[in-house]
């Protein structure tokens, strides 16, 4: 009864409070950080807000404007409220909000759940002041809050990625509840950096978006790193809950025009927010503006189904990937990603990704390709992401079928490799995994069946949660490599992305391995590559 009463009271009370708005599509807008670091100012914000309008980007949906770190005064006022730094923002926060709203834009606020703000040792954080700050942000007319994770555990350590406290949802939940208590709608963007376990599980409950990686870096290699880390978050992505791959580096003079299209495509199909980080003035390259303005790519990102694309096939030595995302109205987006910095021609059998026939539009070329089936030959230029919008999709007449599942628990392990029993319900589908596959280890599967000789599609069930935080600034890639040798032939290498949100959540990577012979006597050996560990292996399934 008590519970019933409180539910009734809550329902009655709800019209008085607003709540975190579950905006159905990923946020789009502009943020100051990538171009101005923690040094925004009123003039900078106004320049770029006006840039959104003069470039036409506002009309395409980029409406949120966020001054990132560095906007504050060092002291709170007598009522303990945060204040704007009047040297940098002479008109103050409320006036800035009015100005942005007057332009038809939305006002994004930024703070963090720590003792200080990121990028400073003296600007006050929101930790312990959540209710006051949420109220102040609402009074200024804020429409969203990006909430960062610096100084989470001490006054003098800016980045703590390892402690339980730094990884905990508690500080983010406190701010979410404080925003919910305001009589103003907010979007809540969690910037916890994807540290710890199961971040998408809790963050998607309380935030519109969650940063699933360390910061983007102004170089091509961070595209590879973040793409490998976003893979498993499709489980949490849904309308109102999106994985944040960080602000775009399009227009920042770090990538070629082709690479900018690749980066933008990858963010769009994975349903990341599309937050521009470039200066929207005369220095913005025309090609970058054109990329940011592609309406087909924007509508793929904003599609009402809100399904993150899946990495459905990878060719590591050949350096290309196949990504496939479901869209509304029974459409799909097919992304063919050339990680090689050279042009190459690749072949893809649509049947191997579950498609019989489909009509296709090459999105970036803006041309119809007519009806496609079976084997496509795709010419890719260096670092190109080809995006094909598929409609009228039919299933293959003769689909690939499983001809057997081979658990690691039934394989011969050598060297450091050990078989480990996982907590109940994990390490799908067997509950066991081969772990510690180091330099001298191998896992040998015998008696593998094949109906015919040649290349087979293998669905490898693996576990990798070796995520990059400090190595993110360098060459951390969120991958572990595995070599696969069939019947004593030449071994081949694959880079496995993250599989899940902990060391027990299985992911599946589909690869093609050659050298099988018809019959039931095939032998497949998995090994680590060089001196770095392989992903843990649960088993694999063969498809023909
Ligand atoms: C305001 O910003 C300026 C420029 O960054 C800085 O020098 C000054 O210390 C800040 N003042 C306060 C009170 O935060
Ligand atoms: C910062 O806040 C203090 C205390 O409220 C105030 O005296 C000072 O003028 C402010 N300085 C700036 C730059 O905003
Ligand atoms: C941080 O500093 C404040 C005041 O300067 C102090 O009250 C608090 O205990 C400090 N916290 C930590 C974790 O050092
Ligand atoms: C890709 O190749 C071009 C031309 O050879 C070169 O200028 C560029 O630095 C390369 N990019 C990367 C990320 O290595
Ligand atoms: C398509 O490619 C596969 C190999 O990927 C090959 O076995 C098959 O014969 C090809 N089919 C056609 C119709 O070319
Ligand atoms: C899809 O198929 C339907 C009939 O099956 C047809 O009317 C329609 O024109 C097709 N759409 C495209 C884009 O080809
Ligand atoms: C396990 O391996 C043996 C041969 O080593 C094979 O006979 C048996 O069918 C395998 N069982 C499974 C479940 O794969
Ligand atoms: C494992 O979990 C299932 C449900 O997920 C439950 O029915 C079963 O009792 C659990 N087994 C153990 C040993 O905890
Ligand atoms: C695996 O290979 C990829 C490139 O194919 C590379 O970027 C990555 O660093 C490798 N991973 C490890 C852990 O060595
Ligand atoms: C691993 O191998 C690389 C080169 O292949 C070498 O530079 C590095 O020192 C090795 N690391 C260890 C721990 O042996
Ligand atoms: C998981 C991870 O990358 N942890 C790093 C957190 O930061 C400390 C200090 O910078 C590193 O030593 C850890 O490796």
On the question of pLDDT at 103 being above 70, the answer is yes
Mutate to test the pocket of ligand 7, among 430, 446, 447 (most ligand atoms within 8 A of CB): 447
Q: What is the pLDDT of residue 305?
A: 97
Mean pLDDT of the 470-491 span: 94
To the query of whether residue 281 is one of the catalytic residues in this protein, the response is: no
In terms of Cβ atoms closer than 10 Å to its own Cβ (0-12, 13-18, 19+), residue 388 is buried
CA dihedral 356, 359, 360, 366 (to 10 degrees): 180
The tokens describing 110, both together, are 């930024």
Q: Mind listing the pLDDT tens digit for each residue in 190-213? A: 999 999 999 999 999 999 999 999
Q: How far apart are CA 424 and CA 235, in angstroms?
A: 19
Query: Across residues 44-50, what is the average pLDDT?
Result: 98
Taking the centre of ligand 6 as the mean of its atom positions, its distance from the CA of residue 294, in whole angstroms, is 24
Average pLDDT value for residue range 272-288: 98
Q: Is the CB of 81 under 6 A from ligand 2?
A: no
Interatomic CA distance for residues 477 and 227, integer angstroms: 9
- Pocket of ligand 2 contains residue 365 by CB under 6 Å: no
Q: Which atom of ligand 7 is nearest to the CA of 446?
A: 5
- Measured by CA distance, the residue closest to atom 1 of ligand 6 is 392
Average pLDDT, stretch 125-137? 98
- Give pLDDT tens digits for 381-432: 999 999 999 999 999 999 999 999 999 999 999 999 999 999 999 999 999 9
Interhelix angle for 92-102 vs 42-54, to 10°?
10
Query: What is the 425 CA–ligand 8 centroid distance (Å)?
Result: 7
Q: 530 alpha carbon to ligand 10 midpoint, in Å?
A: 8
CA 186 – ligand 2 centroid, Å: 27
Judge contact between 249 and 218, C-beta under 8 A: yes
Does residue 12 carry a pLDDT above 60?
A: no
Partners of 394 in the β-ladder: 357
Of 262, 187, 272, nearest in space to 229 by CA: 272
Pairing of strands 357-362, 385-394: antiparallel
- Average model confidence (pLDDT) for the chain? 95
* 391 CA closest ligand 6 atom index: 13
Contact 441, 417 (CB under 8 A): yes
Burial of 291 (C-beta count, 10 Å sphere; 0-12/13-18/19+)? buried
| Atom of ligand 11 lying closest to residue 469 CA | 3
Beta bridge pairs of residue 305: none
- Measure the CA–CA gap between 112 and 363, rounded to whole angstroms: 38
Please report the pLDDT score of residue 126 as a whole number.
98
Phi, psi values for residue 45, rounded to 5°: -65, -45
pLDDT at 288: 98
Nearest to 279 by CA among 59, 69, 56, 35: 35
Q: Say how many Å lie between the CA of residue 260 and the centre of ligand 4.
A: 13
Distance 441 CA to ligand 4 centre (A): 36
Cα angle value 234/238/242 (rounded, 5°) = 75
Give the per-residue pLDDT at 15: 39
When pLDDT is averaged across residues 439-467 and rounded to a whole number, the result is 98
Q: Are residues 114 and 159 in contact, defined by beta-carbon separation less than 8 angstroms?
A: no
pLDDT digits (tens, 9 = 90+) for 482-541: 999 999 999 999 999 999 999 999 999 999 999 999 999 999 999 999 999 999 999 999
Kindly state the tokens that stand for 403: 């001809």
- Helix 130-139, helix 170-180: angle, nearest 10: 40
Kindly give the distance from the C-alpha atom of residue 392 to the centroid of ligand 6, in angstroms, as a whole number. Answer: 6
List 148, 303, 461, 466, catalytic entry: 148
Domains along the sequence of the chain with CATH: 8-301 (3.20.20.70), 310-394 (2.60.40.1180), 402-543 (2.60.120.260)
pLDDT at 18: 59
Whether 288 contacts 277, CB under 8 Å: no
pLDDT at site 17: 52
Ligand with smallest separation from the Cα of 407: 7
Judge if the beta carbon of residue 528 lies within 6 A of ligand 10: no
Is 3's pLDDT higher than 50? Answer: no
Best mutation site among 531, 532, 533 for ligand 10, i.e. most ligand atoms within 8 A of its Cβ?
531
Kindly report the protein residue whose alpha carbon is nearest to atom 13 of ligand 10: 531
Q: Which of 20-24, 209-213, 234-238, 380-384 has the lowest average pLDDT?
A: 20-24
Give the closest residue (by CA) to ligand 3 atom 4. Answer: 155
**What is residue 116's DSSP assignment?**
B
From 215, 296, 362, 514, the catalytic residue: 215
- Under the banding of pLDDT at 50, 70 and 90, the label for residue 20 is confident
Count of all residues that appear for the chain in the document:
544
Mutate to test the pocket of ligand 1, among 74, 82, 85, 122 (most ligand atoms within 8 A of CB): 85
As a whole number, mean pLDDT of residues 25-48 equals 98
Confidence of residue 16 (pLDDT cuts 50, 70, 90): very low
Q: Are 233 and 212 in contact (CB under 8 A)?
A: yes
Given this model, what pLDDT does residue 470 score? 83
């Amino acid at each position: 009864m008590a519970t019933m009463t409180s539910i009734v009271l809550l329902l009655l009370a709800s019209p008085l409070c607003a709540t975190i708005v579950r905006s159905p599509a990923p946020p789009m807008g502009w943020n100051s950080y990538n171009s101005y670091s923690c040094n925004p100012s009123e003039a900078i914000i106004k320049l770029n807000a006006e840039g959104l309008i003069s470039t036409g980007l506002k009309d395409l949906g980029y409406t949120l404007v966020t001054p990132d770190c560095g906007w504050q005064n060092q002291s709170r006022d007598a009522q303990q409220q945060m204040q704007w730094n009047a040297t940098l923002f002479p008109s103050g926060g409320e006036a800035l909000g009015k100005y942005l709203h007057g332009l038809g834009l939305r006002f994004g606020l930024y703070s963090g759940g720590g003792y200080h703000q990121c990028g400073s040792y003296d600007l006050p954080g929101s930790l312990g002041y959540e209710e006051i700050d949420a109220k102040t942000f609402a009074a200024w007319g804020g429409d969203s809050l990006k909430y960062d994770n610096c100084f989470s555990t001490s006054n003098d350590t800016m980045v703590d990625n390892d402690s339980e406290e730094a990884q905990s949802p508690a500080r983010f939940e406190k701010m979410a509840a404080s925003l919910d208590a305001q009589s103003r709608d907010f979007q809540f963007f969690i910037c916890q950096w994807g540290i710890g376990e199961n971040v998408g599980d809790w963050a998607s409950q309380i935030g519109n978006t969650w940063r699933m990686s360390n910061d983007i870096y102004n170089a091509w290699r961070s595209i590879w790193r973040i793409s490998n880390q976003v893979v498993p978050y499709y489980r949490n992505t849904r309308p109102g809950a999106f994985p944040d791959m960080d602000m775009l580096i399009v227009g920042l003079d770090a990538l070629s025009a082709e690479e900018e299209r690749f980066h933008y495509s990858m963010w769009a199909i994975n349903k990341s927010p599309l937050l521009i980080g470039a200066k929207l003035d005369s220095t913005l390259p025309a090609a970058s503006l054109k990329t940011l303005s592609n309406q087909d790519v924007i509508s793929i990102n904003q599609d009402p189904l809100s399904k993150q694309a899946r990495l459905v096939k990878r060719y590591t030595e050949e350096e290309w990937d196949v990504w496939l995302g479901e869209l509304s109205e029974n459409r799909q987006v097919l992304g063919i990603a050339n990680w090689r910095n050279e042009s190459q021609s690749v072949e893809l059998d649509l049947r191997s990704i579950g498609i019989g026939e489909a009509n296709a539009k090459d999105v970036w070329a803006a041309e119809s390709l007519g009806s496609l089936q079976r084997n496509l030959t795709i010419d890719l230029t260096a670092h190109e992401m080809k995006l094909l919008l598929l409609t009228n999709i039919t299933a293959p007449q003769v689909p690939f079928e499983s001809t057997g599942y081979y658990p690691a628990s039934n394989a011969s392990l050598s060297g450091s490799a050990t078989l480990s029993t996982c907590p109940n319900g994990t390490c799908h589908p067997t509950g066991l995994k081969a772990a510690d596959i180091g330099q001298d280890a191998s896992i040998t599967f015998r008696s593998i069946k094949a109906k015919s000789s040649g290349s087979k599609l293998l669905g490898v069930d693996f576990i990798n949660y070796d995520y990059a935080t400090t190595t993110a600034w360098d060459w951390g890639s969120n991958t572990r490599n595995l070599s696969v040798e069939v019947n004593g032939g030449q071994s081949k290498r694959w880079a496995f992305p993250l599989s899940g949100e902990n060391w027990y959540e299985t992911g599946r990577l589909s690869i093609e391995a050659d050298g099988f012979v018809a019959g039931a006597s095939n032998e497949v050996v998995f090994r680590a590559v060089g001196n770095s560990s392989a992903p843990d292996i649960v088993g694999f399934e063969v498809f023909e």
